[in-house]
């Protein structure tokens, strides 16, 4: 059963919205971005944690928030979670101002900090029941909701276990279940996969993808960029409190790619193959690197098929052909200077 089914499809388990004054967003509200910050600044005594940050996260995005330690990611998330007051600028969550309408914002977000404590002497269901009560979910509904979120995060079998006896990965999943208990529209997850083993990380990412499919907006800050690359549809890169990129993952890659490179592996006579390739106007450079031919195309939009065509025409057997793609880690390294505050 998915969370969509849990909260919306099944009439018997339909979740009562928490905000009584604003039960369902009307169309105008639906059109608003999930998060919008404008000139958001947070000043500490001798440093600027956030420097005029303009950020927009659309509804339904799985948004990766990338930056070095001290770049301002956690500060941003804490402002959005209504824990910190900005020094200047504004931040809106689903159209609500995080300062003026902090209480309303808390109803529609689920915040999972990078480091959070659990009440180790509580059973899993007690813990979630407690947080359900904090979100003012009616008692008759809580039991069902707790069971459902536990099912979603794969911890149904552990509902009677004491939290202190569970592994870190399971505690992290309980943290995620807690975040979901009131069916928030926006999830703010600060390093949710930190400290988890590879399997637990993959499972966590799968749950996040499922949540995105359900229409949740998720902002996730993480250092594991390879995972964000496959997980997120949009990313923002922040350094020293300044936003240096915000947009699609592919967009940032295109922006950073200085040249279009294709790697070719041929069956015989690579020098001859290089000679053939160099005769083509679409190819600006071809050279042998580590047993493969590195072909630099003349332009970004040059047709790669010309390589295969040329080699086949001249009887050179092709064993492999791959376009070089920048990883998010490389993009991040190129874009940032590694400066921390």
Partner 1 sequence: MSLFPIVARELRVASRRRSLYTGRTVFALAAIFISGLIMSFNQAAPVTMGSSLFYTLSSFAFVYCAMEGIWITSDCVGEEKREGTLGLLFLTDLSGYDVVFGKLAATSLRSICGLLAILPVLAIPLLLGSVTGKEFGRLILLLINTMLLSLSVGICISVYCTKAVKSAVSTFAMMIVLLGAGPICLFLIGMVTKNSPSPINVDTYSVHSAIYGMSMVADRAYLAEPWSYWKSLITNHVFMWIFIVTASLAVSKCWQDRPFSGAQLKRKEKLLRADRGSKRYETRLRERLLSRNPVMWLHCRSRLKKLYPWLIFALGGVYWIWGSIRFGSIFYNETANFIGTAYFSSLILKFWIGAESSQRLTDDRRNGSLELLFSTPLRVKDVLSGHWKAILDQFIGPLIFLCVLTLFFAFLLLIESRRLGGSQTTYVVIMLMAHLILLIVDSFALFWCGLWNSVRARHVNRAIGGTLFHVLIVPWILFLGFIIFIILAARGRGFALIGGEEYFMLSTWFAIGLGYSLWLITSCRSKLNNQLRLLASTRPGLEKDYKENTLNQGSESLEPTK
Binding site for partner 1 (CB under 8 A): 18, 43-45, 78, 81-85, 87, 98-99, 102-103, 106-107, 109, 111, 113, 115-119, 126, 129-131, 133-136, 139, 178, 182
Least distance to partner 1 from the beta carbon of 129, Å?
A: 7
Least distance to partner 1 from the beta carbon of 101, Å?
A: 8
Q: Which residue has the tokens 């960029």?
A: 225
In this structure, what token pair is assigned to residue 322?
């791959």
Least distance to partner 1 from the beta carbon of 85, Å?
A: 6
Least distance to partner 1 from the beta carbon of 184, Å?
A: 10
Least distance to partner 1 from the beta carbon of 152, Å?
A: 19
Nearest to partner 1 of 22, 257 (CB atom): 22
Least distance to partner 1 from the beta carbon of 216, Å?
A: 16
**What's phi and psi for 255, nearest 5 deg?**
-65, -35
Nearest to partner 1 of 99, 318 (CB atom): 99
> Which residues, in sequence order, are CB contacts of 286 under 8 Å at separation 6+?
274, 277, 278, 293, 294, 295, 296
User: Do 95 and 104 contact (CB within 8 A), yes or no?
Assistant: no
User: Do 19 and 103 contact (CB within 8 A), yes or no?
Assistant: no
Least distance to partner 1 from the beta carbon of 133, Å?
A: 4
Give the pairing of strands 283-289 and 292-297: antiparallel
């Amino acid at each position: 059963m998915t969370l969509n089914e849990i909260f919306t499809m099944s009439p018997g388990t339909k979740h009562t919205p928490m905000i009584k004054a604003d039960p369902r967003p009307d169309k105008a509200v639906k059109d608003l971005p999930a998060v919008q910050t404008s000139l958001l600044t947070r000043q500490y005594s001798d440093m600027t944690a956030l420097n005029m940050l303009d950020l927009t996260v659309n509804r339904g995005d799985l948004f990766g928030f990338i930056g070095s330690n001290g770049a301002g990611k956690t500060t941003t998330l804490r402002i959005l979670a209504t824990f910190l007051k900005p020094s200047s600028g504004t931040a809106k969550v689903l159209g609500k101002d995080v300062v003026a309408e902090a209480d309303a914002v808390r109803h529609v977000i689920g915040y999972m900090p990078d480091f959070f404590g659990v009440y180790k002497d509580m059973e899993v269901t007690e813990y979630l029941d407690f947080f359900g009560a904090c979100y003012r979910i009616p008692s008759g509904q809580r039991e069902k909701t707790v069971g459902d979120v536990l099912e979603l995060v794969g911890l149904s079998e552990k509902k009677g276990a004491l939290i202190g006896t569970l592994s870190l990965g399971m505690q992290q999943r309980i943290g995620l279940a807690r975040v979901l208990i009131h069916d928030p529209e926006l999830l703010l997850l600060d390093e949710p996969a930190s400290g988890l083993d590879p399997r637990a990380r993959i499972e966590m990412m799968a749950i996040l993808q499922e949540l995105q499919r359900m229409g949740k907006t998720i902002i996730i800050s993480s250092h594991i960029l390879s995972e964000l690359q496959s997980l997120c549809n949009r990313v923002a890169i922040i350094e020293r409190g300044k936003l240096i990129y915000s947009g699609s993952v592919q967009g940032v890659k295109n922006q950073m790619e200085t040249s279009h490179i294709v790697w070719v592996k041929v069956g015989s006579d690579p020098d001859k193959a290089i000679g053939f390739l160099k005769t083509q106007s679409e190819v600006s450079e071809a050279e042998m690197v580590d047993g493969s031919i590195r072909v630099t195309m003349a332009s970004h939009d040059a047709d790669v098929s010309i390589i295969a065509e040329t080699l086949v025409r001249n009887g050179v057997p092709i064993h492999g052909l791959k376009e070089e793609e920048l990883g998010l880690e490389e993009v991040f390294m190129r874009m940032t200077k590694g400066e921390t505050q």
